[in-house]
Amino acid sequence: MISKRLLVFGGSGFIGQQFIARAKQQGHAVLAIVRSHASAEKLAHLPVDTEVVNHSDDFALEPFFAKVDTVINLVGILHETRLNTFESVHVDFPKRLLSHCQKSRVEQYVNMSALPASSAHGPSQYLFSRGRGEDAIHQVDSTTEVVSLRPSIVFGRDDHFLWPFAKIVRRVPIFPLVCPESRFAPVFVGDLIDVLLDLIAERCYVSETRIDLCGPSIYTFRELIQYLTEATNSTCRVVGLPDIISRLQARLLNYLPYKFFTYDNYLSLQADSVSADNGFENFGIKPKSLDSIMRPLLSG
């Protein structure tokens, strides 16, 4: 096993924490750059070096790219704020990281994106900005190897999609579900991390630089929530809302101070998070099923 020197952004998140733990187990040296002391605290349980740095300060960031083999960008947002917009997080930041990689002659840059991000067809600002971010780093003539991973929704313990919904269906008698026919191909976080580690260790030749990743089965949104009710032994009834009501609900929720679901989230659900080209096949990885992972977690 070849040990690499990794610089990780977004390491305090759901994917990041599990990736760092696995990377350290495989002998890689990891430095995590986080934006706040609160984020640093989330990594305190891991044997990882952590630095708190303002992500918008290029002068402060530049020294950390020296003598690094791979830069991994796991930073992403589902909801905009005044300080963190889709444009600044999904477009400008990946582009700035690549610029640092080029200046410091970093060998490899892995960017986490999402299905079905597209600068041409993204129906929401989230998917549109993700697509523009990909274009910003893949359309540059770079000596740094650039790869974007584009998973469908990612699941596992404490994930940011299924886990919150599982908590809700345990507590409410009726679940009014927006966009019930939207489709997903859920990806287990451990399988996604396997791809990341294979890329870093150069265990797989990558012909495509934008890699779609899908789980073994496709579910509608309604089927996912119904699965959660069954797996948690909930009596919650899932009621699919017609599109006009889904759209109205999204607009109303947009005004809440806590952004649980926004109109941009509704627009994202207009595009199915699936792909006919599953990159797991190129890595020789058989993705794990939703039920094999989530049922033991939800029934515990």
- For residue 138, what pLDDT band results from cuts at 50, 70 and 90? very high
**If you average pLDDT over residues 40-69, what whole number do you get?**
96
Residue 207 has a pLDDT of: 65
Residue 205 has a pLDDT of: 63
Domains of the chain: 5-154+187-214+274-287 (3.40.50.720)
Nearest to 58 by CA among 123, 104, 127: 104
Q: What is the pLDDT of residues 236-267, one digit of tens each?
A: 999 999 999 999 999 998 887 777 789 999 99
Round to the nearest angstrom and report the end-to-end CA distance of the chain.
36
pLDDT at 49 over 90: yes
**Under 8 Å CB-to-CB from 142, ≥6 apart: which residues?**
98, 101, 102
Q: What is the pLDDT of residues 70-80, one digit of tens each?
A: 999 999 999 99
* Paired tokens of 142: 């770079």
Residue 70 has a pLDDT of: 97
pLDDT mean across residues, the chain: 95
What global pTM score does this model have?
Answer: 0.95
**If you average pLDDT over residues 173-187, what whole number do you get?**
97
